[in-house]
Amino acid sequence: MSVALTVVGSINLDFVATAATLPAPGETVTGATLARHPGGKGANQALAARRLGAAVQLIGATGKDGMADEALGLLRRDGVDLWGVATRPELATGVALIAVSAEGENQIIVAPGANAGVLPGDLPNTLEGAVILQLELPIPTVAAAAERATGFVAVNLAPAAVVPQTLLDRADLLVVNETEAAFYGESLHQSPGLVAVTLGGAGAKLFKDGVEIAAAAPPPVTVVDTTGAGDCFVAALAVALLEGQPPKDALAFACTAGALAVTRAGAQPSLPTRAEVDAALAGA
């Protein structure tokens, strides 16, 4: 089944410093190597869905600066439709400053730039079909996108923030990690849709009406960089559910895609193709 979806979300350029250890508060760690990669949760999820075989269009914004083309480079190369990406000359392209340890753990600080300028009035009056959302755009914009969507709505509640209950109620799929699940508490399970909770290396669980309906573990992999793995999981789970895969199979598909994403450096360069995910599942 061919899947088409729209991602409304953030677009960043990631500056990634990889060092032996992550700094403690007030500590300086030297000897790092620096890399630049396209990122942003919205752009990551759009590219992940595209590499998994979906037809994807992205709605967001960049600045009119040297970082914009770099931030959009892989999306263009892989065929994501960028008709909805606006250019904001008065704002900088969003930037994420990411520190990565030798074990692949990370610390991230985001300067949203043009992402913060994406307002409800910038969205189409109707968003046809399936939509994936995150919380790196202004919350009113995210809520408006969910309200205007005509089909399946997946909301990655990250980074954790106070959101209107109407957003939770509209979502067909909510995705959180353990920290975000603790932040939202029981309000997650009061929503009518599915709730996926990721558990890092332990995999993920899927809930309906507060009852666990599926669990899956990722294949064993060597961790290089966990940046973007959660975004890969979100996109993969949404694509699998839209394809009509049963919940348990969809969750296993998403866990496998997320695991493959940690085996390479960078949020977007690490995202696996459909062939890679299918091969890993067949091997398991």
Place of tokens 């953030």: 10
Mind listing the pLDDT tens digit for each residue in 193-226? 999 999 988 999 999 999 999 999 999 999 888 8
| 147 within a domain of the structure (yes/no) | yes
Residues 6+ positions from 100 with CB-CB distance below 8 Å = 16, 17, 18, 19, 22, 106, 225, 227, 265
Candidate list 209, 225, 231, 249, residue with the active-site label: 231
| 104 within a domain of the structure (yes/no) | no
pTM of the predicted model as reported, rounded to 2 decimal places: 0.93
Confidence label for 2 from pLDDT (cuts 50, 70 and 90): confident
**Confidence (pLDDT) at 225:** 82
* pLDDT of 126 higher than 70: yes
Residue 134, domain extent = 4-11+41-92+113-283
Decide if 144 contacts 165 (C-beta within 8 A): no
HSE value, Cβ hemisphere, 13 Å, CA-based, for 64 = 5
| 106 within a domain of the structure (yes/no) | no
| 140 within a domain of the structure (yes/no) | yes
Q: Pull the structure tokens for residue 132.
A: 């994936």
Confidence label for 140 from pLDDT (cuts 50, 70 and 90): very high
* pLDDT above 90 coverage of the chain, percent: 88
Decide if 218 contacts 233 (C-beta within 8 A): no
| 207 within a domain of the structure (yes/no) | yes
Which CATH number covers residue 56? 3.40.1190.20
- Please count the structural domains in the chain: 1
Q: Would residue 231 show up in a list of annotated catalytic residues for this protein?
A: yes
Average pLDDT over residues 33-57: 96
| 27 within a domain of the structure (yes/no) | no
Mind listing the pLDDT tens digit for each residue in 90-109? 999 999 898 989 888 888 89
| 63 within a domain of the structure (yes/no) | yes
**Confidence (pLDDT) at 1:** 61
| 31 within a domain of the structure (yes/no) | no
Burial degree of 90 (CB within 10 A; 0-12, 13-18, 19+)? exposed
